[in-house]
Each structure stands twice: as C-alpha cells, then as structure tokens.
Chain A
C-alpha cells in the first residue's frame, strides 16, 4: 500500500517494503533503510536513513508537512487518496486571487469583452497594488468581489464565459 506525497509539483510514493529486522521504505521505487525513524510532532529532529544521520526541522500545516533540511525548506503535501488529483478543465475561465487581499478597482463588468493580459481587477495586498490580467480573451461572466471587498488566496474572484468552439 503506497503513501502518496506531493513535492515541487511532482507526485511521489513512499511504501513500506519490510519492517524487520530493520525498517525498509521504498521511495519512488528505490529502497531506503531507516535505522532510526524520525519522531512525531513539530520541531527539530534527526533520523538515520540510508546509512546517514540527517538533521531536519518539520512543522505540520493542515495536510502539509513543511520540512527544513540542509538549509532549504520544502513543502510536502499529503495527497488525498480519494481525490482524483487536479480539477480538469475550466482553469482558464477563472481568475483566482494569487494572494489574500482586497479589491481596489474592477475594470470590466459582466458581459464586457476582455483581451488576454488586460487588467480585469486591481487588488491590494500588504500595501501592494497589483493588476490581475485576464487569463485569455473572452467575455466576463461574473465578478465575485467588488471594490473594497476582501478575499482569500486562491479564491475565484472573477470568471469568463466558457469558450465556444469557433468554426
């Protein structure tokens, strides 16, 4: 049975190959001996793995583990075994907030056309204004947040009408 993790945009699989006499994992199909497994919980830890003693720090954030190892920080997400793995299609229709913030101005109303790259909504986050460009040419379907309203990161703040196949 595999344990699927997401790191740097790629899917990885960790499985238990053997438990005795020492613990052997396979990481992406390659065996790795774990002489001393890391403990649970946040903070600094060590593990003896693949013949090396490795120091690291780790903290849990929701379904992710943030790992600091060898002076670098990694964001490792647990892949929900029940999810299909990524929404298919429609991404180009939605304008998602790249960061939490508030709407400063809305440049297009629903029904108006917009060209790819044209500013659709100007937002502000941490005293910084950014014009969010339309992801493609199209017609504005809905604007979900008006001036002064706040939103969270990755929230859809505007959508374009679905594209129809041009003959």
Chain B
C-alpha cells in the first residue's frame, strides 16, 4: 500500500491545535477540512485548510460541540477520518461512536475506551485492577451531606474533582469541613455545566505533589510503548502553564517504574491512539494514578522535541491500522524541552482572563523554537474561547540551556494589546527554585511574592515613559509644535 493513509481528514477543532494537526497532514500529503463558527470565519485554521465548513450554534463553543453538524460536514466534504485535537469533542464517547457509525475513522480510541477513561471513577477502578497505584478517595454521590461526611472522614487536605472532569474544571483543595460543602457544590455545578454530569468525588491531596505524566502510544491490540514522561507541575488555577520533558531530577529507577506503569495501563485497555497517563508524585517517591487523557495533549510538543517523533503522524498511522511507528527500544530521548502557555490573563490580578485586540505581534525566529499559535495581528481576543493564545516550545541540549533560551525567547516575544502572562512566565523560568528543579503543583502560590515584577529603576522608568509619551499625538504636538502629519497617522491602525 503506497497511497496516503487517508485521502482527506476533517480537523474538528480550532486555534493552534487545528493548525498544528493540519501541518502534519500537509506533510503526509493528506487534504484537510476545517470547521468554524461564523465569528472565526477568517481565522488561521480556516485559511490553512484545503476546505472549510461553517458550523452554527448559539455560541461558538456550542457549534464546536455539535456532533451531528460535524459528522455531516465530514460526510459532505468526503473526509475519511476526523482528528479531534484536544478539548471540545476529543474525549466524547458519543462523538467517537457517531463518527464510526458514519463510516469515518476517528483518530482516537473507540467509544468504549473513551468512556472507560473519561469517567474518573471507572478509570480509577480499571487502573487499580491492573496494578496501577491510586490515591485513597471517596466515591461520588448525589447526597451532598453524605458526601461531605464521608470525605471529611478520610482526612484533610482533600481534592474535590468532577467525576467526568478534566482541565481543572470543577476542582478545588479543601482543608476543613467548613469549606467542604460549598466547594463540593461549586464543583458539582461546574461539572454539570461542562460535562453534563454533576457527580463529584474527593481524594487525598498529596502535599507538594509533582505532576508527572507519561506519553504512550497504543496499537489497539494490546501493544503499547511510552515516549517518556513530562513534568507539568507549574500550574495556576489547576491548569498547567509550564511543562517540560523530561521531568527534572527524576530518579532513573522511579522514571522506569512510572513509565512501565503507564504502558501496563495502555496495554490492559488495548488502547489505540496517542494517550497520556497522568500521575501525582509525592516527595516520598510514591506516585498515584490521576487520569488518562485519550487524545493529543496540549503539551505534546515537548515530547516531540526530545524524541523527534511527530505525535500527530503517529496518531494518523495508528488510526489507519499501520500499528506502532517504532518499538520501545527504538525510542530515544535527547536534550530538554520546555513549553510555556501564553495566556490572555493578568498574573497581577490572580490570573484573571483578559480580552482585547492583538495590536502588534512579533515572534522570535530560532531553529530551537516552536511558536504554536493561530494568532493574527488585529485579532480580537474574546471570552468565546479558552484564554490560551499560544505555546512557546523551546529545545536545549540540557535543562539549563533550554531554560536560558526560553527566558530569552519570552523576553523578545512581543504581543501587545492584550494583557498576557509572557513576562510572568519569564520570571518563572528564571526563578532559582525553578532552575533547581524544586517543583510542585503549589509552586506558583509558594513563590507568589518572588514572582512579582521587580520595581523599575528610575532611569528605566523614564525610558518607558518617554517611549509611551511619544506614542500620544498630543505629546508629539507639544514637542514638535505644529501637528506633524505622521503624528496624526499614528492614531490610525490598519
């Protein structure tokens, strides 16, 4: 068989991940179809695709969650496969089933596997039954009072989570009985809204935990390999902002045990696709299964950087039935990579989401850097979608070089018009404890004061004020006397 694995693939996503998937499709000689809501009709992923289909919905997000419309779009365009990206319908069993029913290949596991891993309870039970360690927990119930009582009984601190959740939605740490009820209520209502399933559960919260996850590939017949681990301990609001591969200062034997545990799970589930098995790792070296994500992960590029394996290509090959691209012994990791998530948010105000227009964008161009985004100059950043604008992925021959390069890239990256966390990320990557690899999921909170911007030196402040002043035409008139024509033009944007 020499022909392309698929003729045409519909990418059921948007933003940076749709663009990233289409890049690999193009390299593989496969045509791509984009879907988009009316508000994003000129977006980059639409321009990149060979064809684009508009989908409708009360909100743009609702359109991207409309299974029937998306399957119909694939049929209408003659796509023989659908790549779901991450988020949206990527871990929706009904979607995977509907795609299969339409005679289209879903680039992902089958509906049953998604359902098994998508429900935290069944995933946990499955992991436990297959020799993967899980943390002590309380099962969900509709009775909030009973839940609060039982949860309190296993001791604090506790982590409250949505049974059907992911991405930090409906999650919180509770340290006393008093906070428990309200936290469970909020978690339950968020879970109901996002996942249509209000069940929440609680488990022992490991203090100073590290978030370690293993990238796996499974062929659907019990064959599975790992592509080493990533560390995603630097988080705010339970969402990752800096990820790296490999994890820093991880004992080799421990690394092997974690990776082997992930492969065992993927193999037992006869997992088919790229997937990620997430763990929390305590300071004592104990690790517990968190969840398995049955899709491409946001932070997958750091693994690609150190292994040289294109994970999207691997997904497509596996979906087409070609099996695993290589054997475990052939997987090699070299160097170190960081990913920084550039978000529209204000670190000075507890990372509150921000909106605005991208007035100016300048991205450094280096061989060791990937800037994954669908950003355009003039683009309006709204609350319609997630606040992540881009990912800056940097490679180095070792952790220090990768960190140095990341800081330098973050400092030269210029995105003006929307408040972002770019400067904050540079301070994180420059922080002594970060450099020392002293990471845990409370890093952002623990070092909050040290991660604030340093006060400006008076000379520097004068330069900033001068640069700003000359941007106002009122000031230019004041300085240059009569209004100069260019000063007036300065107010106009194209």
- In contact, B360 and A40 (Cβ under 8 angstroms): no
Interface residues of B in 469-494 (CB under 8 A from A): 469-476, 478-479, 484, 486-487, 489-491, 493
A68–B415 CA distance with the chains assembled, in angstroms: 9
Measured between beta carbons, the chain A residues less than 8 angstroms from B387 are 126
State how many angstroms separate the Cβ of B340 from the closest Cβ of chain A.
Answer: 14
Interface residues of A in 13-71 (CB under 8 A from B): 14, 16, 19, 23, 25, 27-28, 30, 32, 34, 37-45, 47, 49-50, 52, 54, 56-61, 65-71
A39–B480 CA distance with the chains assembled, in angstroms: 12
* Interface check B252, CB cutoff 8 A: no
Q: Which of A5, A32, A45, A59 contacts B417 (CB 8 A)?
A: A59
Given A8-B456, A71-B410, decide whether A60 and B476 contact each other with a Cβ distance below 8 A: no
| Smallest CB gap from B358: residue in A | A59
| Smallest CB gap from B486: residue in A | A40
- In contact, A14 and B189 (Cβ under 8 angstroms): no
Measured between beta carbons, the chain B residues less than 8 angstroms from A66 are 359, 416-417
- In contact, A50 and B462 (Cβ under 8 angstroms): yes
Interface residues of A in 125-143 (CB under 8 A from B): 125-129, 131
A74–B453 CA distance with the chains assembled, in angstroms: 11
- In contact, B359 and A61 (Cβ under 8 angstroms): yes
State how many angstroms separate the Cβ of A95 from the closest Cβ of chain B.
Answer: 15
A32–B341 CA distance with the chains assembled, in angstroms: 38
| Smallest CB gap from B407: residue in A | A71
- In contact, A54 and B463 (Cβ under 8 angstroms): yes
* Interface check B75, CB cutoff 8 A: no
* Interface check A73, CB cutoff 8 A: yes
| B365-403 to A contact mask, C-beta < 8 Å, 1/0 | 000000000000000000101110000000000000000
- In contact, B462 and A68 (Cβ under 8 angstroms): no
| Smallest CB gap from A26: residue in B | B462
A93–B478 CA distance with the chains assembled, in angstroms: 40
Measured between beta carbons, the chain B residues less than 8 angstroms from A71 are 410-412, 423, 426
* Interface check B362, CB cutoff 8 A: yes
B169, B414, B490 — most chain A CB neighbours (10 Å): B414
State how many angstroms separate the Cβ of B491 from the closest Cβ of chain A.
Answer: 7
- In contact, B486 and A43 (Cβ under 8 angstroms): no
User: Dominant SS at the A interface?
Assistant: strand
The stretch among B46-54, B92-100, B134-142, B348-356 that forms the contact with chain A is B348-356
- In contact, A127 and B194 (Cβ under 8 angstroms): yes
Contact residues on B (Cβ < 8 Å of other chain), bracket: 35 or more
- In contact, A16 and B464 (Cβ under 8 angstroms): no
Given A59-B417, A72-B453, A105-B189, decide whether A67 and B352 contact each other with a Cβ distance below 8 A: no
| Smallest CB gap from A105: residue in B | B189
Q: Which of A37, A58, A99 contacts B352 (CB 8 A)?
A: A99
B193, B467, B472 — most chain A CB neighbours (10 Å): B467
* Interface check A115, CB cutoff 8 A: no
- In contact, B479 and A68 (Cβ under 8 angstroms): no
- In contact, B383 and A101 (Cβ under 8 angstroms): yes
- In contact, B464 and A7 (Cβ under 8 angstroms): yes
Q: Which of B349, B460, B468 contacts A70 (CB 8 A)?
A: B460
Q: Which of A23, A61, A65, A69 contacts B472 (CB 8 A)?
A: A65
Interface residues of A in 82-129 (CB under 8 A from B): 98-101, 104-105, 119, 122, 124-129
* Interface check B270, CB cutoff 8 A: no
| Smallest CB gap from B382: residue in A | A100
- In contact, A14 and B475 (Cβ under 8 angstroms): yes
- In contact, A68 and B469 (Cβ under 8 angstroms): no
Measured between beta carbons, the chain A residues less than 8 angstroms from B416 are 42, 57-59, 61, 66, 68, 73
* Interface check B190, CB cutoff 8 A: yes
A99–B419 CA distance with the chains assembled, in angstroms: 12
- In contact, B469 and A100 (Cβ under 8 angstroms): no
- In contact, A43 and B189 (Cβ under 8 angstroms): no
A146–B257 CA distance with the chains assembled, in angstroms: 52
- In contact, A30 and B479 (Cβ under 8 angstroms): no
A119–B385 CA distance with the chains assembled, in angstroms: 26
* Interface check A1, CB cutoff 8 A: yes
| Smallest CB gap from B239: residue in A | A128
State how many angstroms separate the Cβ of A115 from the closest Cβ of chain B.
Answer: 14
* Interface check A78, CB cutoff 8 A: yes
* Interface check B186, CB cutoff 8 A: yes
State how many angstroms separate the Cβ of A51 from the closest Cβ of chain B.
Answer: 11
Give B residues with C-beta under 8 Å from A: 169, 182, 186, 189-190, 193-194, 237, 349, 352-357, 359-360, 362, 383, 385-387, 410-412, 414, 416-417, 419-420, 422-423, 426, 453, 456, 458-476, 478-479, 484, 486-487, 489-491, 493
Give A residues with C-beta under 8 Å from B: 1, 3, 5, 7-8, 12, 14, 16, 19, 23, 25, 27-28, 30, 32, 34, 37-45, 47, 49-50, 52, 54, 56-61, 65-76, 78, 98-101, 104-105, 119, 122, 124-129, 131, 153
Can you show 28 pairs from A to B with CB atoms below 8 A apart? A3-B478, A14-B466, A16-B479, A38-B471, A40-B486, A42-B360, A42-B493, A50-B463, A57-B360, A59-B416, A65-B471, A66-B359, A69-B463, A72-B411, A73-B423, A74-B468, A99-B353, A99-B354, A100-B383, A101-B353, A122-B186, A125-B352, A126-B383, A126-B385, A126-B387, A127-B194, A128-B353, A129-B186
17 further contact pairs, Cβ within 8 A, besides A42-B416, A57-B362: A3-B474, A25-B469, A32-B466, A38-B467, A38-B470, A39-B486, A41-B486, A44-B362, A49-B463, A54-B463, A59-B416, A70-B411, A71-B423, A75-B419, A98-B352, A99-B354, A99-B383
Closest 9 CB pairs of A and B: A71-B411, A40-B490, A76-B468, A59-B359, A59-B416, A65-B471, A65-B468, A27-B462, A126-B353
